[in-house]
């Protein structure tokens, strides 16, 4: 940071001039780079990209119309409707006709990576279905300090992103180790398994809609929240219902397991957690409540995350407009059933490891969160300049 301050004092003591993005950046439409086949396979050579969170949709064997991005000639792909964008430095095919490929305009004095970091700070309301590059982004003016300063800013921010990438790679490796260890713990006891319906009671929730949800009242669990808001266990809900409506619905009690029983895809089914709140909670009709006097609920939830469970579950899921499973079919799944003490020990071990790879306050997730916060702070400081004094 001190070196940046020295460069600013030396090269632009009176402030930094701003220039519109449209003068600095040119774009190309994706038409000739669009993939035509949906035949994706991980063994094919060319990735098919979207600017959204999924990023790599798959790989294609199409050999024509490949955008020739590279380490020396990178590109930014920009979704004109959502404003999502990604830095790309490898050849690819495009999926969406709304995607724009951004490159520096000829002779523009802009470090392209500097522009990318600045682009990440621009937030606009993109809730309307409209194209935003020309109307919103191109007219925006951004600070353009001398190239020497841009280069130094990129060097600093690249270090932050590289460190974060290394931490995330280590976290992924830990997750893989954790999954292997979890599978091993359950496989040891597979000879002692019983069907779920032999040791559990299973019941389906009853329907309520989002318009029924209140900010206070009786605790309620909507199935859509289980994917994004709940971990392995929960002591509070994020939704509530009016007591009169709640009295007509079905609930789980503290110590019961809640499991998603229907969704848009097969992968949606089976996500679960243990309800540990102080009172009963209403469950949605796309959820099951599960109770057992023979199975530790935490042990059960960990089992519901195993490959063994997923493979068994797939056999009983029905799919049409949505994918779903019945309580009777879920009951046919077999669960390894060691002693109560062994169940508790397995649950304790897996809980402790899970916290190290999932809890944002400890372990690698905590370190990544701290580095991300530090990066945001320095990016904001590095990309904020005094406006050029106009005489």
Quick one: pLDDT at residue 190?
85
Tokens at 152, concatenated: 């130094």
Phi-psi region of 65 (alpha: psi -120 to 50; beta: other; left: phi over 0): left
Tokens at 251, concatenated: 């609930």
Please indicate whether the domains covering 18-143 and 190-337 agree at the CATH topology level.
yes
The length of the chain is 391
CB 276 within 8 A of CB 210: no
pTM of the model: 0.70
Quick one: pLDDT at residue 120?
94
Q: What is the CATH architecture assignment of 190-337?
A: Alpha-Beta Complex (3.90)
> What pLDDT digit, counting tens, does each position of 183-241 carry?
999 999 988 999 999 999 999 999 999 999 999 999 999 998 998 899 999 999 999 99
Domain ranges of the chain: 18-143, 190-337
Count each helix (H run) and each strand (E run) in the chain, helices first: 12, 23
Q: What percent of the chain has pLDDT over 90?
A: 78
Quick one: pLDDT at residue 1?
61
Whether the predicted pLDDT of 151 surpasses 90: yes
User: Strand 323-324 relative to strand 318-319: parallel, antiparallel, unpaired?
Assistant: antiparallel
pLDDT band for position 349 (50/70/90)? very high
pLDDT band for position 282 (50/70/90)? very high
> What pLDDT digit, counting tens, does each position of 101-126 carry?
999 999 899 999 999 999 999 988 88
Phi-psi region of 91 (alpha: psi -120 to 50; beta: other; left: phi over 0): beta
CATH 3.40.50.2300 matches 18-143: no
pLDDT band for position 390 (50/70/90)? low
> What pLDDT digit, counting tens, does each position of 57-110 carry?
999 999 999 999 999 999 999 999 999 999 999 999 999 999 999 999 998 999
- Taking CA atoms, 325 is separated from 261, 272, 302, in Å, by 6, 14, 19
End-to-end CA distance of the chain: 29
The mean per-residue pLDDT over the stretch 25-29 comes to 96
SS3 content of the chain, % helix, strand, coil (to 5): 40, 20, 40
Q: What is the number of other CB atoms lying within 10 angstroms of the CB of residue 14?
A: 11
The mean per-residue pLDDT over the stretch 160-176 comes to 91
Whether the predicted pLDDT of 253 surpasses 80: yes
Give the integer Cα–Cα distance in Å for 308 and 303: 8
> What pLDDT digit, counting tens, does each position of 312-331 carry?
999 999 987 889 999 999 99
């Amino acid at each position: 940071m001190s070196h940046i301050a020295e460069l600013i004092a030396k090269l632009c003591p009176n402030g930094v001039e701003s220039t519109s993005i449209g003068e600095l950046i040119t774009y190309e439409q994706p038409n000739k780079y669009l993939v035509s086949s949906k035949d994706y396979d991980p063994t094919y050579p060319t990735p098919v990209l979207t600017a959204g969170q999924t990023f790599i949709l798959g790989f294609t064997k199409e050999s024509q119309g490949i955008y020739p991005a590279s380490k020396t000639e990178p590109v930014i792909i920009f979704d004109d409707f959502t404003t999502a964008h990604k830095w790309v430095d490898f050849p690819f095919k495009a999926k969406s006709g709304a995607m724009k490929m951004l490159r520096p305009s000829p002779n523009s004095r802009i470090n392209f990576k500097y522009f990318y970091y600045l682009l990440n700070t621009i937030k606009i309301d993109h809730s309307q279905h409209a194209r935003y590059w020309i109307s919103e982004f191109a007219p925006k003016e951004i600070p353009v300090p001398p190239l020497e300063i841009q280069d130094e800013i990129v060097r600093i921010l690249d270090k932050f992103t590289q460190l974060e990438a290394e931490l995330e790679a280590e976290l992924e490796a830990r997750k893989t180790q954790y999954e292997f260890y979890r599978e091993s713990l359950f496989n040891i006891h597979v000879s002692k398994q019983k069907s779920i319906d032999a040791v559990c009671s299973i019941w389906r929730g009853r329907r309520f809609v989002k318009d029924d949800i209140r900010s206070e009242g009786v605790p309620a669990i909507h199935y859509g929240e289980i994917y994004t808001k709940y971990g392995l266990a929960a002591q509070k809900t994020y939704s509530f219902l009016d007591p009169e409506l709640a009295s007509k619905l079905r609930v789980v009690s503290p110590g019961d397991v809640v499991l998603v029983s229907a969704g848009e895809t097969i992968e949606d089914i089976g996500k679960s957690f243990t309800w540990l709140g102080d009172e009963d909670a209403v469950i949605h009709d796309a959820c099951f409540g599960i109770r057992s006097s023979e199975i530790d609920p935490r042990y059960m939830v960990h089992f519901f995350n195993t490959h063994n469970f997923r493979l068994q579950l797939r056999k009983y899921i029905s799919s049409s407009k949505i994918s779903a499973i019945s309580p009777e079919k879920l009951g046919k799944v077999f669960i390894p059933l060691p002693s109560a003490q062994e169940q508790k020990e397995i649950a304790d071990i897996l809980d402790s490891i899970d916290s190290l790879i999932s809890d944002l306050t400890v372990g690698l997730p905590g370190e990544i969160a701290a580095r991300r916060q530090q990066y945001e702070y320095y990016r904001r400081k590095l990309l904020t300049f005094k406006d050029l004094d106009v005489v």
